[in-house]
């Protein structure tokens, strides 16, 4: 079963962390990737740019229009994700608790099953 482990970020929370805490997060992600690679559960990870540099295409009257920024009301945004292949939802949840962000108040990991997939032909 494939699951997307999505890191929900709050810029204010990150900005309040010390340099040592940020370094620990980076090191923790490296350790997490090593562990899930060794277990054969790792498929892919991507870190995303800040929403301030996003562009959104949204329909107005059935016509797609391009807008600067997402302009969401929430403080949280998708900061990145891990795509994993695990035996169960319980294992996906267990992995989510191992992501360093899950140990910081104000950050979260959303765990969602993959419902459909099509990979690029390389």
Q: Could you tell me the residue ranges of all domains in the chain?
A: 2-113
- CATH code, residues 2-113: 3.30.70.1060
Mean pLDDT of the chain, nearest integer: 91
SS3 4: strand
Is 55 a residue whose pLDDT tops 80? yes
Strand boundaries in the chain, DSSP class E: 2-10, 42-47, 55-60, 63-68, 76-85, 108-113
The pLDDT value given to residue 101: 94
pTM above threshold 0.85: yes
Q: What is the mean pLDDT of residues 11-25?
A: 93
């Amino acid at each position: 079963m494939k699951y997307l482990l999505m890191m929900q970020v709050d810029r204010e929370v990150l900005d309040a962390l010390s340099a040592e805490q940020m370094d620990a997060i980076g090191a923790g992600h490296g350790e997490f990737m090593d562990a899930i690679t060794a277990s054969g559960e790792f498929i892919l990870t991507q870190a995303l740019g800040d929403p301030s540099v996003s562009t959104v295409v949204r329909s107005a009257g059935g016509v797609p229009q391009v807008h600067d920024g997402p302009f969401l009301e929430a403080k949280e945004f998708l900061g990145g994700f891990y795509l994993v292949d695990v035996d169960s939802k319980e294992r996906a949840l267990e992995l989510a608790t191992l992501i360093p962000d899950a140990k910081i108040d104000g950050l979260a990991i959303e765990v969602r099953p993959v419902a459909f997939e099509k990979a690029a032909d390389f």
